[in-house]
Amino acid sequence: MEVAESCKEKNMLVHNKVRHLNLMSTHNDSFPVSIYNCKGLRTLIISTKKLPPLPSDSFSKLKSIRTLKLNKNSIKEVPESIGGLVHLQYLDLSQNWELKELPNSVGKLFNLETLRLIECFKLRELPVSLRKLVNLKHLYISGCTNLKVPKEIGRLRNLQILDFLYVQDGGEDDEGLFKLGDLGKLEQLQDGSEAKNAELVNKKKLLDLTLRFGENFVLDPRES
């Protein structure tokens, strides 16, 4: 079900048997309260000009959601209740430029396979609880220029795609970042020391690798 513009009405009615819902608007809209009656909702996509602050219990009644896309909504804070989405497999928070942190409760999303945080420019760190996401396969953080990735990410043994990796401090504490033996795709390493620490010889599932030297030069095997 796709609803355009009319979702500006907070009291807009959404049928409680809806399974896939796409809300689109150019207004600063409220979260339609009738969504909470959609107990079997599997997909929720919200595209607005600016989504008002999400209520603390926004996701507490939407436990069946598998796919949640909240990208480009000017979200500043994600409520702790997101950790209650125990069936969630795909979460996209990309291009929420004011988002500074994720709640620790994301560590409860045990079925999450894809997490997209592309161009969340103010995002500074990922919660340590991320290490609990044992089923996470795809982590997209390109454009998060201020982001420090915790060494605990090395525990994500099923991770196959990591599109950006930048270690700010260096040193022994960061070695855990590279113990990702099953990583299938590691696109960007920032310098030679990182490439060494990445232990590329052990990346048995590595399918695609881009090596960047300096500011503008990129060596891509597909171009050779």
| pLDDT (mean) for 172-188 | 56
In the prediction, which pLDDT does 8 show? 46
| pLDDT (mean) for 193-201 | 61
Residue 66's pLDDT band (boundaries 50, 70, 90)? very high
In the prediction, which pLDDT does 37 show? 80
CB-based contact 117:141 (threshold 8 Å):
yes
In the prediction, which pLDDT does 7 show? 44
At 31-43, the pLDDT tens digits run 677 777 888 899 9
Residue 105's pLDDT band (boundaries 50, 70, 90)? very high
User: How far, in Å, CA of 100 to CA of 121, rounded?
Assistant: 8
Quickly list DSSP for 99-121: -----GGGGG-TT--EEE-TT-T
Check the CA dihedral 31-138-140-76 and report its sign: positive
Distance from first CA to last CA of the chain, Å, rounded? 46
- 153's CB contacts (< 8 A; 6+ apart) are 126, 130, 131, 139, 159, 176, 177, 180
pLDDT at 174 over 60: no
Residue 83's pLDDT band (boundaries 50, 70, 90)? very high
Task: Check: pTM over 0.85? Answer yes or no.
Answer: no
| pLDDT (mean) for 54-77 | 90
At 108-133, the pLDDT tens digits run 999 999 999 999 999 998 999 999 99
Residue 155's pLDDT band (boundaries 50, 70, 90)? confident
pLDDT at 214 over 60: no
Average pLDDT for the chain: 77
Domains and CATH numbers, the chain: 4-219 (3.80.10.10)
pLDDT at 197 over 50: yes
CB-based contact 20:42 (threshold 8 Å):
yes
Look at 162 and 186; give whichever has higher pLDDT.
162
In the prediction, which pLDDT does 103 show? 95
Look at 12 and 118; give whichever has higher pLDDT.
118
